[in-house]
Amino acid sequence: MLKKTLLFLFISYFSLAQKLEIGAGLGPTYYKGDIQPTFRILNPSVATNLFVRYNVSKVISVKANAMIGFVGGNDEKSGNALNKSRGLKFTNTLWDYNGQIEYNFLNFRTHNGRYEHQWTPYLFGGFGNSQFLRRKYTNGGTSNINSIIAGPDPVLPFGIGYKKIINGKWNFGVEFSTRVLLRKKNADFFDGFGFNNTTEEPESFYPSFESNAKNFKLFQSPNTLQKDKYFHLTFSVSYLFYKVHCPPGK
């Protein structure tokens, strides 16, 4: 019985090892929200990530991922004239961790002859948490660092990626992910500014030709109804653990 158990564990280990890979990545982060209502590719921050991937089959992979870095926004780099005039900016130091499921469009690392592909695009989605480590706000040259750690907040990551075999054990990957904050209370305050900071009537932030007061309030706080989001574009390298078992010689 003991021999059978040891044999089972031995076989399971090598079976797992042939499907398990670890990797690391680095790339820009982006933000979209009240301070930056449009996606600005030329206004990045930076983050790094570590991951462990298990290749369940030629089509499905599961991955545990952790990212740490910076996410920021700047009114002056916004495409909105009211934002530029307001001049607020922020930088969040944060980390998040999540689990995700990947769907490979092509048969990747299947070793099935002509049906195997050296590369594949993939879609993924998952669930995790996001945790602030530090928040820094700047208003008119005056900075305020908020050391209060809030969260963690549940986050929904999803996106698209591309991976390619470099050689037998190494992969190269590119992945673009969107992180959506799920907690309603904090989903619009990722940047520290919400659409409705001073009133319970969101309509008062819209311009009106009948009320100069409402126009002035819009100028003071040109925020949007959209919830805040942050994004990560990562370029990664991963190592696949596997062992080739050669038949014994005659």
What single-letter amino acid sits at 196? N
Dihedral sign, Cα of residue 116, residue 121, residue 126, residue 131: positive
CB 132 within 8 A of CB 151: yes
CATH class of 19-196+228-241: mainly beta
* Number of residues written out for the chain: 250
Domain ranges (residues) in the chain? 19-196+228-241
Backbone angles phi, psi at 246, to 5 degrees: -85, 140
Closest by Cα among 23, 26, 66 to 47: 26
Supply the pTM of this predicted model: 0.76
- Per-residue pLDDT of the chain in tens (250 residues, 90 and over written 9): 544 443 443 444 444 445 899 999 999 999 988 788 888 888 899 999 999 999 888 889 999 999 999 999 888 877 777 777 777 888 999 999 999 999 999 887 665 545 577 889 999 999 999 998 888 877 766 667 665 666 788 999 999 999 998 987 899 999 999 999 887 666 677 877 665 544 443 333 323 334 444 444 544 555 566 788 999 999 999 998 865 545 555 4
Half-sphere exposure of 57 (CA within 13 A, CB side): 4
H or E stretch covering 220: helix 212-220
H or E stretch covering 183: none
